[in-house]
Structure 1
Amino acid sequence: MDGISKAARVGQIIIGVVYIVAGAVKVWEPVLFYWEAIPYAQLLGVVEWETASAVAKAALVLGPIEFVLGWALLLNWQPRLCLPVATVLMAAFTALTAKAWHMGASIDCGCFGALVERGPGEAAIEDGVMVVVLLFAWWGMRRSANAAPVVDRPNWWGASGAPIWPLTSRIVLGALAVGLVVGGVRFFPELERIAQSDLKSGVRLSGLALKGVDVDLMEGEYLIELFSPTCSHCKNAVPKMNVIAQDPQLPRLIALTSFAQDAPQVIDFKKQLQPRFDIATISLTDFRRLTFGHGFPRLAYIADGVVQQVWESNYMPTQARLREIMGS
């Protein structure tokens, strides 16, 4: 095989690793991926919640599919089938994220779950590059189809379109089985996180990226309030939140909203109500998954990233009650 064919094979291996990682993250955090898939279903015109939810649940099969497809690309298993499938799938991802980017949607790309946070713009550009790499790998595979097969050592370069090892089929099928089993085990016991939002006691707040405030919610104790600067109930709660925020015996209070830091609504909120707590921006996807079925404001006490207790808008705790809970 010549250098061009080998370069194409290297590209195939790289994309294979990308697919493995992306699929593994989705399989391991299926509930998080479910919430990330909801906005994309709505972007495609699925308006009714029940239908959008069904589409997002169906999208969960992408995790095992990406996982097994990655192993197939890495091990050069059935490249005549897997390379076109991988290319079409990546092109679909590119088109979807490009649409979200064009519409200015403030949502997570959902590609790598909590591992990497990417907006639609970043995802569209990077996915577009990977489509080009896949097309090059596809062309390289066809170009090297007539190369002499390797029989006395692992066929890493994919000569003649053969897999790396004779037992590659078992590895790929095993990867599919692992993806399906792990995904099911991780998803079905957590169905309540879909029906009752993802902000509940015992849940780790993975995949939550804050903008505007430099804190790591995975370390230490915090009080977080989910709010909207246009919500009258949220505005009415500010005096109580200010008292809580200024109490040195209580954890730091951070308010989370889907509005950008420089949004006029946030600026007016700060100017009119003078909040004494920090306000951070999270993606619309995260805001929805933390408030779904409950509305806002919501207050939660978290320790090392794990939700300990949640209070709804109609039953916010008093300062004394919070001190009692914290043992202050």
Structure 2
Amino acid sequence: MLKSVAAVVSSESTKFGEGDSVIIKEEDYMDDGSVIRLKLTIIPEKGEAVFDFSGTSPEVYGNWNAPEAVTAAAVIYCLRCLVDVDIPLNQGCLAPVRIYIPKGSFLSPSDKAAVVGGNVLTSQRITDVVLTAFQACACSQGCMNNLTFGDDTFGYYETIGGGSGAGPSWDGTSGVQCHMTNTRMTDPEIFEQRYPVVLHRFGLRGNSGGAGLHRGGDGLVREIEFRRPVVVSILSERRVHAPRGLKGGNDGARGVNYLITKDKRLVYLGGKNTINVEAGDILQILTPGGGGWGAL
């Protein structure tokens, strides 16, 4: 399998001959500044690869620490995308692959760490790091845009799509769940019927994909008015560090979360927050676009 993977490595990376190895270094940052570092070593002669995450930041105080299984799942996903072979999804995928994750990092946290965001946020950044190392495509929205709201009588949870990164022969896709998530949205009619909300807007966020020879996909705009007081939580990324373009392509637009109060004040919520909203308040979520590929 890894012989096929080696073939997709950019010609700008270290060239290899018989018995030689390809070594690629890549990194990306979470919005709090925590870094994911990857040293990827491919050994074509043996069809093996080593994913070494040494140098990744320590466990974080927040909830986006990721158990080791999340990193393994992201690596498997990327390899299956890169290889033009129908590979069954099982542990055998990793037989020729070694993954090293330093203990105590936020990719291998202690059993006291909060990890709810590891699968829904950090997994997306791991995917971006791996695919960028292979120069396979630009970064995606890098986030699942997790939204919850409710009170003592009900709870609602959804993830919101965004833009995917462009590649060497394709534009990114707009308004989709990409990479490590594939959940569907609640139909607007059901959403408004079952919950105390009015959906004012749900559509593409124009020109949020990075420009380039191939353009990144656009993110989404979602505006929800609440008809009674509830508690709202947003757990999102790519609000500080934009999805990167590749080969001269522009970065995608960063995401933004706002509260529009019933007296028309516009309040920036940041990427992660929990707030009490009143009847008439509107939550506006603009999800990130994907990075572009290639200079125009």
Return the structure number with greater helix share.
Answer: 1
TM-score normalized with structure 2 length: 0.28
> Where is the strand percentage greater, Structure 1 or Structure 2?
2
